[in-house]
Structure 1
Amino acid sequence: MAGVIDKDTLIAGVELGGTKCIATLARGRTILHQSRWPTRGPETLDDIAAALDGWRRGAPFAAIGIASFGPLCLDPADPHFGHMENTPKPGWAGVDVHGHFARRFAIPVGIDTDVAGAALAEGAWGASTDCPVHVYATIGTGVGLGIVVDGKAVHGRLHPEAGHMRIRRTPGDTFAGACPAHGDCLEGLIGGPALAARANRPLAEVPDDDIIWQRVAAELGEWAAMLILCLSPHRLVIGGGVLDHRPALLDNIRVAVADNLGSYLAGLDLDALHDLIVPPGLGREAGPLGAIIIGQNALRETPA
């Protein structure tokens, strides 16, 4: 019999992001406590575990969910399950993220990508409820994609790494790209470090009519159109720090998607794209609540 979750079950969540880490204690979707740290080296995990220890003394939680940047090994049969793969973040490659918490806490510990967690949370409590096939794209320090089918995050040999797809460059754009592996893949063009390099000034100082935002909308619009053609989702949620600060981008992305699709998909005109492509229903809590969902799933899947 699997672990049981009721209205009183407490779950701890750990979201490891490219620039910040968030620990959350929640009952269902109700957040009771939260702590934040800048993402430094793997020693950040010690700080998070110490905070969880403190919470556990006063409010014992039943499981931990980890929603982490990647790439991650998520094959339970692999000896490196739960380890960080070849990430460009200094000091993190090869780190046993799952084991760091599983060895310290004698409770179920689940792990998935941060963007898959956000997708699961949006499906349970946010903009993608009642959508059998839905995706969550995050545009922040990196570009990530979580795919959910019938309530389960999709994994194959690896988790989706669609942020490293290459798309056509906009005319006149000579930026070489900032991805250390691929140069001008999508993440290398519109991830946070790439945008900072392209703008050559703080993004907050770049006006909405600057050509850089035209390029970002065109690039994201082509990428989103490819996702729609490949995955046929009922909902495509786009979140992350870049759109948090430039919400007007979403309308321009929809226009670019419509241009890329042409009239090929019946019924998917610009009006329909306003229902298909949406911002997160959970706002900035999609990531932290994603870690809670991952913890809930770990508890459900653990024999009682």
Structure 2
Amino acid sequence: MGEQNGRAVRLASFGGPEVLDIQEIPVPQPGPGQIRVRVTAAGLNPMDWKMTADADTAALFGLSLPTGFGTDYAGVVDRIGDKVTGFAPGDRVFGGALSRAVADFVVVDAAGAHAANEAYHTPDGVDDRTAATLAIAGRTASAALAAVGLRPDDIVLIGGAGGGVGVFAVQLARIAGARVIGTGAPASAHFLRELGAEPVAYGDGLADRVRSLAPGGVTAALDLQGTETVQVARELGVPDDRICTIAARVEGVPAANGAHAAPGALDGIARLVAAGRLRVPIEASFPIEQIRRAAELQAGRRVKGKVVIDL
């Protein structure tokens, strides 16, 4: 591979994993205030395939064809544009590059003013695969916990606790001092316990199972998958302003996404990883040539933790 071309996953039409193709494209050049990153790993998130599933959704994110795929990345700075300060070739970095991260190279703004067009220094002790999972899921979990005003004395019910956002939300809540009850499939119980949650099976009878674990009730709830946890939290007497969704909209209930995270949230999460206080389970990693298989696994919604593409 020469300087002039690099691999990138591209979509010529919107759709599912079957529309993902690998192409050789010209290597992007950084402009003023930008850096170019040689990507070593790209983390996948549900939003990646949701926002490229159809033209109307893609338009909401400012995407048009042809477009790339994936947002979370980690790698090494290999070129900087004019007027860039704080970064130099050879620096390890991570961050977001909206729907273009699964590629050999990405160009992002060094100032990092936009949540999906940014770079942060990767702390020592954080490997690139892990760094490539942090931006979307870490920010989203932080924003959701902030939306409910999490307190150390809370008992928080987290729906979808073993998913990509859930693994961050559970651990961040525990670090904050809260008690966590996490929903998941029965087979995920051991995984959830390792994260620090008390596992409870989702589905019919969830409210009763939560009552048996917390007879005094729960005080806050995050629904990271749909609306089941919202309904149960309401049944258990949790006020709407202490419930948060990320994947659905429920009237009266706050919704959060990564763009709502407080400044510095992502840096803080990376430091927790570096300090060994927060771990990111990676269920599977795939070479870029297996992008369709990786996207199918991610879209199946049975992943415990994260899926990463190696470049």
Same fold (TM over 0.5): no
Q: Which has the higher strand share?
A: 2
TM range (shorter): 0.3 to 0.5
Q: Which has the higher helix share?
A: 1
* TM-score, normalised by the number of residues in structure 2: 0.35
* TM-score, normalised by the number of residues in structure 1: 0.35
Larger RCO: 1 or 2 (CA < 8 Å, sep 6+): 1
